[in-house]
């Protein structure tokens, strides 16, 4: 985070949330990985450049809820996606 960019850390193992956030890839560093713990505290985290968590999702949310929540947080904190800006 030394380049002052937000980070989306997707620990779901399938990078589905990283894919959903690809329209913000020019502004948000997208990282997919897996936790070595049996139960990680979150399935994904969106971390602002100042280190605060802007959004998180856990196993209690459906995939649809997680995607909608992530898109809302990305738009709220970092503006419209590249797709929305170009009308794609």
Q: CATH classification of 7-83 is 3.40.50.720, yes or no? A: no
Residue 23, helix vs strand vs coil: helix
On the CB side of 43, CA atoms within 13 Å amount to 19
1 has pLDDT over 60:
no
> Where do the H-state alpha helices sit in the chain?
16-20, 63-78, 82-86
Closest Cα to residue 75, out of 85, 64, 63?
85
* pLDDT top residue among 64 and 84: 64
| pLDDT-derived band at 66, boundaries 50, 70, 90 | very high
Structural domain boundaries in the chain: 7-83
29 - beta bridge partners? 7
């Amino acid at each position: 985070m030394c380049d002052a960019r937000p980070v989306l850390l997707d620990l779901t193992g399938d990078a589905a949330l990283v894919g959903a956030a690809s329209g913000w890839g020019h502004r948000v560093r997208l990282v997919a990985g897996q936790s070595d713990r049996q139960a990680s505290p979150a399935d994904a985290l969106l971390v602002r450049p100042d280190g605060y968590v802007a959004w998180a999702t856990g196993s209690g949310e459906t995939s649809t809820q997680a995607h909608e929540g992530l898109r809302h947080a990305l738009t709220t904190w970092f503006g419209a996606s590249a797709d929305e800006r170009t009308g794609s």
